[in-house]
Structure 1
Amino acid sequence: MVAQLMYRVPLLGWMLREAVLGPVTAKVLFVVNLLLLWALAIVVFGYPAIILPALAAVPVMFALLVLIMKG
């Protein structure tokens, strides 16, 4: 249901659908586009664009460590 809702977003929907359902080339190009978007954010916003993804990854890594320690 969430995927169908995301597919209806005008600018990103067709890219997401192609990345999920399309060939390997579409998946690679989608990842390249995300990296280029991040590089553009670094150029425009500078240092915070580098730090914010790391700060967003902290809870994920913490949960991963807890799952590893749990066994």
Structure 2
Amino acid sequence: MSILTPIPPAQPWYARAFYRLPVIGWLARDLAFGDKDNIWYFLVIVLTGVILSVAAWGLPALVMIALTYVPVHMALMAILARP
């Protein structure tokens, strides 16, 4: 699984440190160096997390998730509006 996905030694020290984090790093390492189908598993995990957080906390969880997308959309608008 994701713990067994090797980290290439040519990675900088901060990338190797990030990939060694318990849950987030394992998922990121699997996406970067693992099987090509792992992106679909990752999306199912994220969607399940969103559904469970909305089920537990309701609308405030949905609003907090939407607020995290604001910088992403602003950056995309700036990139797309560039002449």
Q: The TM-score by the shorter chain falls in which range?
A: 0.7 to 0.9
- Consecutive aligned runs of 4 or more in structure 1 exceeding 4 Å deviation: none
Q: CA deviation at 1:51?
A: 1.2
Instruction: Report the counterpart of residue 49 of structure 1 in structure 2.
Output: 61
Instruction: Give % identity.
Output: 31
Letter in 2 for 1:30: F
Backbone CA RMSD of aligned residues: 1.8
Give the whole-Å Cα distance in 2 for the aligned partners of 1:52 and 1:58. Answer: 10
Quick one: higher RCO (CA 8 Å, sep 6+), 1 or 2?
Answer: 2
TM-score (norm. length: structure 1) = 0.76
**Larger relative helix fraction:** 1
Q: CA deviation at 1:31?
A: 1.2
**Count of residues in correspondence between the two structures:** 71
Q: Which runs of 5+ in 2 are unaligned?
A: 1-11
Q: Which runs of 5+ in 1 are unaligned?
A: none
